[in-house]
Amino acid sequence: MWGCSALQYPVNTMSADIIIKNGTVLTMNEDKEVIQAGVVIIKGRKIVEVGSNDLLAAYSSKNVIDAAGGIVMPGMINTHTHVSMSVFRSLADDVPDRLNRYIFPLENKMVSKEMSYLGALHGSIEMAKSGVTTMVDMYLYEESAAEAVKEIGLRGIMTQNIIKYPTADGKDAQAKIDLAIEFVENYKDDELITPGFGPHAPHTVNREDLEKIKLLSEEYNLPVSMHVAETETELNDFKDNYGMTPVEYLDSIGILNERFIAAHAIFVTDSDITLMKARDIGVAHNMVANIKSAKGVAPALKMHDQGLRVGLGTDGPMSGNTLDIIGQMGYVAKLHKLANKDRSVMPPLKVVEMATMGGARAIHREDELGSLEKGKLADIAIIEVISANMVPMYSPYSALVYSANASNVDTVIVNGEIIVKDKVLLTYDEVKSRKMMLDFSKRVSAIADTL
């Protein structure tokens, strides 16, 4: 009324749906700009502004989140998982040849639509609470998994597993292709779920079925996710049988293109890498699962540095055991240093880049996801920096990669919706989901004892 303030606030501020203030904002934009006391303005599904404190004068909202100095970053992208397998987590770890000896027999007895839904529900909760906002999944009865992912409020590229063996969800590959088509028809226009095709691996799907999948992916313009070059045996068998690497074999079918996401890619040659780049495929780098199974360290650093689209993935929770990307980051940083005998390679910034923009590029959605920039979808994680392991924080990238764990994640926003706040999931009753899981796990135990 009387006098005047040195700071003139606009009389009419613009309204926002959510304002995040007081963050250490890792934009992950092209300049890798970090904004101290940073602000992110969200309207509807999108980020409308990212900047400094000054923005607080221009916008108002009923929903202001004080990040309290915490790290505000793009939601992490888990580029490869089998989320429903959370029901089997911690079962038969470290058994040699466990896929054939243990996992397939167990799945034949236990997998159902109910199981696929329940495992995806539980695993999505774990991802949501750890700051993962998008997953690329491949499993049986994938439509049931997609339903759960949507219920928790995550973004999912959900690919129906297609394999030549009889499985709980179909007697042959064609039965699973039919399931995929049905799923695709039901979900092709969904905002959060992108349905797709998940041929299991080059040696577990026949060539003619891969050709069908290639055509379907083209027809619907939907993604294909597939295990590629995961074992040395696979590489050697393809060389012996076809005179080609698995990557070359897939390329001979014409399935490698911008809709294709290759999981693992451990045993790839330099010329495979050149070919993968030329075909513009995405790559999911699953460090924890790959070394737990003693397979090896994929040349993901070389791929990334050569401009390939490399994101991070957890693999299924029976392989990597956890579904958070924060845990992967520490391994990715350290294993590439060890493999290259050079502590300066794979610095934290590069690892965080893989976890965010790298993942977005791997799924060819870098225009919408992977960084905090005006016009992008509002998929955001806030990591608190008050737990003892996060203090002090001279470098937010180092703190994230070398110190943080999944439980440091405080707030998570997907598609403009807050799904986790103050470490509490807002979209589902965790007590209920845990009870359902514990009940189901008793049935799993009974079957597992017979294997």
Binding site for a second copy (CB under 8 A): 86-91, 93-96, 122-123, 125-126, 129-130, 288, 291-294, 296-297, 321-324, 327, 330-331, 333-335, 337-338, 340-344, 347-348, 386-389, 391-395, 398-399, 402-403, 405-408, 430, 434, 437-438, 440-441, 444-445, 448
Q: Which string of DSSP letters, residue by residue, matches 183-199?
A: HHHHHTT-SSEEEEEEE
Nearest to 21 by CA among 75, 66, 86: 66
In this structure, are residues 324 and 406 in contact, taking their beta carbons and an 8 Å threshold? yes
User: Min. distance of Cβ 130 from a second copy in angstroms?
Assistant: 8
Buried b / exposed e along 208-242 (16+ C-beta atoms within 10 A): ebbebbbebbeebebbbbbbbbbbeebbeebeeee
360 CB-near residues (< 8 Å, 6+ apart): 74, 77, 311, 366, 368, 369, 370, 371
Residue 6 Cβ, how far from a second copy at the closest point, in Å? 27
**String of DSSP letters for 362-403:** HTT-TTTSSS--TTSB--EEEE-S-SGGG-S-S-HHHIIIII
For a second copy, the closer CB: 244 or 448:
448
Residue 225 or 231: the one with the smaller Cβ distance to a second copy is: 231
Q: Name the minimum Å distance from CB 85 to a second copy.
A: 11
Are the CB atoms for 20 and 421 separated by under 8 Å? no
For residue 97, give every residue at least 6 positions away whose Cβ sits within 8 Å of its Cβ, in sequence order, or none. none
Nearest to a second copy of 143, 384 (CB atom)? 384
Strand spans (E) along 30-154: 34-43, 46-51, 59-60, 64-66, 71-74, 76-81, 132-139
Tell me which residue of 81, 158, 85, 77 sits closest to 118, measured CA to CA: 85
Give least dist CB 309 to a second copy, A: 25
- Shortest Å distance, C-beta 294 to a second copy: 4
Pairing relationship of beta strands 417-421 and 424-425 according to DSSP bridges: antiparallel
Question: Cβ 450 to a second copy, closest distance in Å?
Answer: 14
Is there a cis peptide before residue 392, judged by omega within 30 degrees of 0?
yes
DSSP 8-state symbol, 13: P
Least gap, CB of 145 to a second copy (angstroms): 16
Given the complex with a second copy, which of 234 and 251 has the nearer CB atom?
A: 234
| Closer by beta carbon to a second copy, 238 or else 331 | 331
Rank residues 249 and 267 by Cβ distance to a second copy and give the closer one: 267
Closer of 57 and 95 to a second copy (Cβ): 95
Smallest gap from residue 434 Cβ to a second copy (A): 6
E strands within 124-163? 132-139, 155-162
Q: Rounded to the nearest whole angstrom, what is the least distance from the CB of residue 129 to a second copy in the complex?
A: 6
